[in-house]
Amino acid sequence: MNYRNLHAWDVSATRAVEIQKELRSLIELTPLTDVELVAGADLAFPDAKHGVAAIVVLNISTMRVVEQVIVHETVNFPYVPGLLAFREGPVFLKAWQQLRVLPDVVMFDGQGIAHPRRLGIASHMGLFLDLPTIGVAKSHLYGSFIEPPNVQGSYTFLYDNNEVIGAVVRTKVGNKPLFVSPGHKCDVLSALKLTLRCCTKHRLPEPTRLAHELTQKYKHVGLFG
């Protein structure tokens, strides 16, 4: 699977929804194995027409940064709940091209299969990259659940009728839980396990948290700094 064969980004919202329906069957929910390099991606928007994307790669054993890249690009697609990949995907992929190492899995700031059409940004990008991906959202989009206990590491499952599509995880006491769901080539438990392993001392997992940190600095320095 290569992203060049999937579709173009410059499409209407209606077409975007059709594309998601066409791609959902391609998602593979297989267990995650032999993970060493974990990447985290995040986006920021300095103004209405530009987006900044950062990717930070960590060695899961040492939790040290192996590589990080950051790029900026003009954005056209507006933010529409359910169509996040069409707004952030292009900038993310530009950053991805700058990466020298190949991560074993990528964590995104958004949903995986916990999406109306099972194609959150993590799932969509997973197909483009043909790599395992995980969606780690800071808030709810789709699925039913009960609030997990206010205890570090506790979690409940996210359901779509009787199907488990993700987990609601309390990574930090007193804070809102995270909505974790597999994107591609990963299953719910693998996504849950890796996410908890990356949440060392903050609510967000290190990969995504560090990428966000980078993106914010870059945004304040300016597009040319």
Partner DNA sequence: GCGACAG
Partner DNA sequence: ATCTTGTCGC
Distance between CA atoms of 65 and 94, rounded to whole angstroms?
20
**Annotation-wise, does 10 bind a ligand?**
no
Contact between 215 and 52 (Cβ < 8 Å):
yes
Distance between CA atoms of 113 and 182, rounded to whole angstroms?
6
Which residue shows structure tokens 């959150």?
120
Interface with DNA includes 222 (CB under 7 A)?
no
The correct pick among 31, 79, 101, 223 for binding DNA (CB under 7 A) is: 79
> Whose CA is closest to 90, among 58, 53, 56?
53
Interface with DNA includes 115 (CB under 7 A)?
yes
**Annotation-wise, does 42 bind a ligand?**
yes
> Whose CA is closest to 181, among 195, 191, 171?
191
CA 135 to chain centre: 4
- Both structure tokens of 211: 């990428």
Q: Which stretch binds DNA (CB under 7 A): 66-74, 104-112, 126-134, 188-196?
A: 104-112
Which residue shows structure tokens 């990574």?
171
Considering the complex, state which of residue 66 and residue 140 has its C-beta at the smaller distance from DNA.
Answer: 140
The correct pick among 118, 184, 185, 219 for binding DNA (CB under 7 A) is: 219
Q: Which stretch binds DNA (CB under 7 A): 40-48, 53-61, 154-162, 190-198?
A: 40-48
Considering the complex, state which of residue 40 and residue 82 has its C-beta at the smaller distance from DNA.
Answer: 82
- Size of the residue set binding DNA (CB under 7 A): 29
- List residues binding DNA (CB under 7 A): 42-46, 79, 81-85, 109-111, 115, 120-122, 135, 137-141, 174, 212, 215-216, 219
